[in-house]
Amino acid sequence: MKKYSSKTISRTFIYIRMLEDLLSQETNFVSSKQLAEMVGSTDAQIRKDISSFGRVGKPKLGYNVSELKSVLEEVIYDNIVHVVLFGAGSLGTALLRYAGFHNDRIKLVAAFESDKRKVGKEVNGVKIYAIDDVGKVFPKLHAEVGVIAVSKEKSQEVADIIVDAGLNGIINFSPTTLSVPEHVLVKNIDLSIEFMSLFYDLRAHNGKQKK
């Protein structure tokens, strides 16, 4: 598998989304400049990203929308991601309901929760199991990525369970730095840091304007 930078990959998802919009408007061709405008980037950036995947544009015409979409999709997905959720509290439940996880590339296959009252329920077609049954349920799931949506205090414990179960990708919504073996990839999404850093940028930004 060829390795692209994860920045390029993140942008590629956004490009695909735009191409889908264009397709639904029956637009056949799009230029790097137009795409750039749609996603808030630059034409050079778009061309650089796309050209790293091969020669797909047509000089003078731009990119064929559906062809480009196929190329981008091929780069990114050869498979479906099987995701398991830990924690069905308010954040976990929001994730279960979140429309973004009900597409053809991501499949949320199960949720685990310690609160007995929630165990056995189903949200959006996803079953909630008791955390103690991980050993029993896991082998059937073919899961690849675990999502941690439990409290700060329990997150390391859950991370250990995920690692023991053999997964090597974690998305961590709790505000902690997890310690995991080196082969496990962790992506931290700390919502309060996102907020606070936006706020900081905002003040710096406004300060500049006043000058």
Partner DNA sequence: AACTGTGAAGCCATTCACAGCT
Partner DNA sequence: AGCTGTGAATGGCTTCACAGTT
Checking phi first, is residue 124 left (phi over 0); if not, alpha (psi -120 to 50) or beta? left
- Binding marks (x or -) toward its own copies, 92..111, rule CB under 8 A? -xxx-xxxxx-x-xx-----
Give the orientation angle of helix 43-51 with respect to helix 6-24, to 10 degrees: 100
Q: Are 92 and 129 in contact (CB under 8 A)?
A: no
Select from DNA, its own copies, none the partner in contact with residue 164, using the beta carbon and a kind-dependent cut-off of 5 to 8 Å.
none
- 3-state SS, residue 188: strand
Residues forming contacts to DNA in the complex (CB under 7 A) are 5-8, 31-33, 41-45, 47-48, 50-51, 55-63
Note whether 200 binds its own copies by CB under 8 A. yes
**How far is the C-alpha of 101 from the C-alpha of 176, rounded, in Å?**
24
**How far is the C-alpha of 30 from the C-alpha of 155, rounded, in Å?**
45
CB-wise, 123 or 189, nearer to DNA?
189
Residues that bind its own copies (CB under 8 A): 1, 3, 6, 9-10, 13-14, 17-18, 38-40, 76-79, 81, 83, 89-91, 93-95, 97-101, 103, 105-106, 144-145, 151-152, 168-169, 171, 175, 177, 183, 185, 187, 189-209
